[in-house]
Structure 1
Amino acid sequence: MKRIGFLSFGHHQAVPGSLVRTAQDALIQSIDLAVAAEEVGVDGAFFRVHHFARQLAAPFPLLAAVAARTSRIEIGTGVIDMRYENPLYFAEEAAAADLISAGSGRQGRLQLGISRGSPETALDGWRSFGYAPSEGSDEATLARDKTELLLAALEGAGVATSNPAMTGQERPVPIEPRSEGLRDRIWWGAGSRATAVWAAEQGMNLMSSTLLTEDTGVPLGELQAEQIQMFRDSWAAAGHERTPRVSISRSILPIIDDETRQWFGLRAQADSQDHVGHLDATTIARFGRSYIGEPDRIVEELAQDPAVQAADTILVTVPNQLGVDLNARMLESIVRDIKPGLGE
């Protein structure tokens, strides 16, 4: 049976109807939702990372806190923008969070989605964090170079030289701590078919969102299914030994009571088709539809989505500002009423 996780952007703002009015609300409720999701049988708790915005930002304190409060559920990100990251510090934090998760539950729970990033609130905000592409390079190369160093560090490569005054000799030294197997649980958030092929060549799992930064005129599900097949073909050609994982994100909003009908009933028709638009002045994207309605109807519609059938993990984007209780009830319905109908 497919894995079902939730994906929260952690929006927080003091606006009418929001139960998540501050950054503290967003963080505490994220932990509480992960605990509630584990209790109702959800397989994963994933969090989006944005900077300079009223959303979740620094992921590792949150992931460690979720790890300490849960024992079974996978915990991860979808995604961390590598343009903003120090890859060696990232490797240390990731290993520490993974070790905490293993200490409070089963091994292998941390699943980290990373990417080149998307347009942000701040113009070239990663420059304010102290990072810039080398001369003649660009921000996409910056993110990929950092990713290469991150993966090497997670594999235990020597990424610094020891101090002979302390060690008696010069030798390569790896990052500490390390968590065995974490390298195989890194996912690349691919916004196109070409980047999915690159992710396969690097030996990373594939994470595909509710949008792609290209449009060929076919529905998102068909375009993503093509992306997934290209990823798997490239993975096989690269000769990697393990079987990769593939996730996609979907907006799934089951109408299960008067409250969910009040919030989502009028959106069912308006959001029943993909949308094509621009992420910024130059980047066109195809945005996926929402699946809203009675659970049995959603099962029928998802059965016609080829990307849902091709992926092994579905990340359900949650309207986190509506609070833990409402989202937990919807997730419980998704696990009970929708997940069994999605196949393997």
Structure 2
Amino acid sequence: MKKIGFLSFGHWRDAPGSRTRSAADALLQTIELAQAAEELGVDGAFVRVHHFERQLASPFPLLAAIAARTSRIELGTGVIDMRYENPLHLAEEAAATDLISGGRLQLGLSRGSPETVLRGAEVFGYRPAEGETAADAARRKTEVFLAAIDGARVARTDPARTGVSGGLAIQPQSPGLRDRVWWGSGTRATAGWAARAGMNLQSSTLLSEDTGVPFDRLQAEQIELFRQAWREQGHDREPRVSVSRSVLPITEEIDRRHFGGRPDEDQVGLLEGVRSRFGRTYAGEPDRIAEELAADAAVRAADTVLFTVPNQLGVAYNARILETITRHIAPALGWAAAEPVARGKP
């Protein structure tokens, strides 16, 4: 049985046509959209994390606020760029948010995407060790984070103050959080690393490799390699796998004005000097989108599908998109609605 969620980039801009003109708008509207999504039976509310951009950048206050206003929907990130993070502080923040939510946090981590800022992580005070790439640093920090949320003793007591000598773990600890950590992977190799580390897989909408096959097949290959590596590692649980899709159903004339004429094929180009393949946008009549997604190899292989939302069009508009998805598109993918939660009746 599949799960579905929405993924918001949280853009804001004081520009004509934007209903999300400030950072406050982006944050508060994301909370409102999560509430509306829960009412529709949607399973997850996920947010992108980008620094130095007019987008969402600090997920934990936002996710904790969503948790306080909802009762069932999963809360996630897609993804936190580990180059910018202190892994022990992240462990504290994640565990606290997970406890507030009652164990609903689905925490997506990664090396992060290409940026407009020059050496942004260094501005935050984090520089890779000598001979270490940015990707290496992100994976190293992730390993420290995973150990910390698993209760590893990462500090020593001060015998002069406590009278004893021993190890201390990060507090608080949130049981079960370790099984709800995901790695955002843009290659088959990093998908294998995620499996060996015991993390769920968030397959990126941008794969920094191109073998000439369509995006959905390339992504399905990545998912199969991940699951094979997971089986070989002998983990004692089944992993989760998510894919994201840009889905823009056209049901009214305003939708046609916004989304008509969008490209309906994969895009291939160079990204940071690497030939990369980007997933297509699905725009059109809901029944046709449902047919096309049902034939999408990676959508079929994943257990969770995240639908990106054009958040600057406002809560009401995006709630209508999600309603169309839940009524006409997601059921064709093998999804069944969770019991809706009426607002004000957790």
- Is 1:334 equivalent to 2:331 in the alignment? no
TM-aligned CA deviation for residue 283 of structure 1: 2.8
Pairs within 5 Å for 1:68-147: 68-102=68-102, 108-147=103-142
- Is 1:171 equivalent to 2:163 in the alignment? no
Query: Could you tell me whether the CA contact under 8 Å between 1:81 and 1:116 is conserved in 2?
Result: yes
Aligned counterpart, 2:236: 241
Q: Which runs of 5+ in 1 are unaligned?
A: 103-107
- Is 1:56 equivalent to 2:56 in the alignment? yes
Aligned counterpart, 2:279: 288
Out of 191, 216, 224, the position equivalent to 1:221 is 216
- SS of 2:93's equivalent in the other structure is helix
CA RMSD of aligned residues (A): 1.0
Pairs within 5 Å for 1:197-212: 197-212=192-207
Distance 1:191 1:229 in 2: 14
Aligned counterpart, 1:313: 304
Query: Could you tell me whether the CA contact under 8 Å between 1:222 and 1:307 is conserved in 2?
Result: yes
Query: Could you tell me whether the CA contact under 8 Å between 1:88 and 1:149 is conserved in 2?
Result: yes
Distance 2:131 2:209 in 1: 25
Paired AA for residue 297 in structure 1? R
TM-aligned CA deviation for residue 71 of structure 1: 0.5
- Is 1:258 equivalent to 2:249 in the alignment? no
TM-aligned CA deviation for residue 165 of structure 1: 2.7
Please, which moves more after superposition, 188-197 or 330-339? Answer: 330-339
Distance 1:43 1:199 in 2: 23
Query: Could you tell me whether the CA contact under 8 Å between 1:12 and 1:22 is conserved in 2?
Result: yes
Alpha-carbon displacement from aligned partner over 1:74-103 (angstroms, at most 9, x marks no partner): 00100000000000000000011011101x
Please, which moves more after superposition, 91-100 or 14-23? Answer: 14-23
Out of 269, 273, 276, the position equivalent to 1:277 is 269
Query: Could you tell me whether the CA contact under 8 Å between 1:6 and 1:317 is conserved in 2?
Result: yes
TM-aligned CA deviation for residue 276 of structure 1: 0.4
Alpha-carbon displacement from aligned partner over 1:174-197 (angstroms, at most 9, x marks no partner): 000110000110000000000000
Distance 2:165 2:111 in 1: 34
Query: Could you tell me whether the CA contact under 8 Å between 1:48 and 1:78 is conserved in 2?
Result: yes
Paired AA for residue 310 in structure 1? A
Distance 2:94 2:44 in 1: 17
Paired AA for residue 327 in structure 1? N
Query: Could you tell me whether the CA contact under 8 Å between 1:51 and 1:121 is conserved in 2?
Result: no
Paired AA for residue 265 in structure 2? Q
Aligned counterpart, 2:150: 155
Q: Which runs of 5+ in 2 are unaligned?
A: 336-346
Paired AA for residue 278 in structure 1? L
Distance 2:301 2:162 in 1: 51
- SS of 2:129's equivalent in the other structure is coil
- SS of 1:292's equivalent in the other structure is strand
Distance 2:35 2:136 in 1: 38
Query: Could you tell me whether the CA contact under 8 Å between 1:112 and 1:185 is conserved in 2?
Result: yes
Alpha-carbon displacement from aligned partner over 1:298-321 (angstroms, at most 9, x marks no partner): 111012210000000001011111
Aligned counterpart, 2:291: 300
- SS of 2:79's equivalent in the other structure is strand
| TM superposition score normalised by structure 1 | 0.96
- SS of 1:159's equivalent in the other structure is strand
Distance 1:26 1:18 in 2: 11
Distance 2:314 2:197 in 1: 38
Query: Could you tell me whether the CA contact under 8 Å between 1:31 and 1:66 is conserved in 2?
Result: yes
4+ long deviations beyond 3 Å = none
Paired AA for residue 58 in structure 1? S
Alpha-carbon displacement from aligned partner over 1:312-332 (angstroms, at most 9, x marks no partner): 000101111111111101101
Aligned counterpart, 1:37: 37
Query: Could you tell me whether the CA contact under 8 Å between 1:41 and 1:332 is conserved in 2?
Result: no
Alpha-carbon displacement from aligned partner over 1:152-202 (angstroms, at most 9, x marks no partner): 000001011111133321211000011000011000000000000000000
Percentage of matched positions with identical amino acids: 67
- SS of 1:28's equivalent in the other structure is helix
Pairs within 5 Å for 1:8-19: 8-19=8-19
| TM superposition score normalised by structure 2 | 0.95
Aligned counterpart, 1:105: none
Distance 2:59 2:271 in 1: 24
- SS of 1:176's equivalent in the other structure is coil
TM-aligned CA deviation for residue 343 of structure 1: 2.3
Distance 2:62 2:77 in 1: 10
- Is 1:191 equivalent to 2:186 in the alignment? yes
Query: Could you tell me whether the CA contact under 8 Å between 1:256 and 1:330 is conserved in 2?
Result: no
Distance 2:47 2:274 in 1: 24
TM-aligned CA deviation for residue 259 of structure 1: 2.1
TM-aligned CA deviation for residue 287 of structure 1: 0.6
- SS of 1:133's equivalent in the other structure is coil
Distance 2:327 2:73 in 1: 16
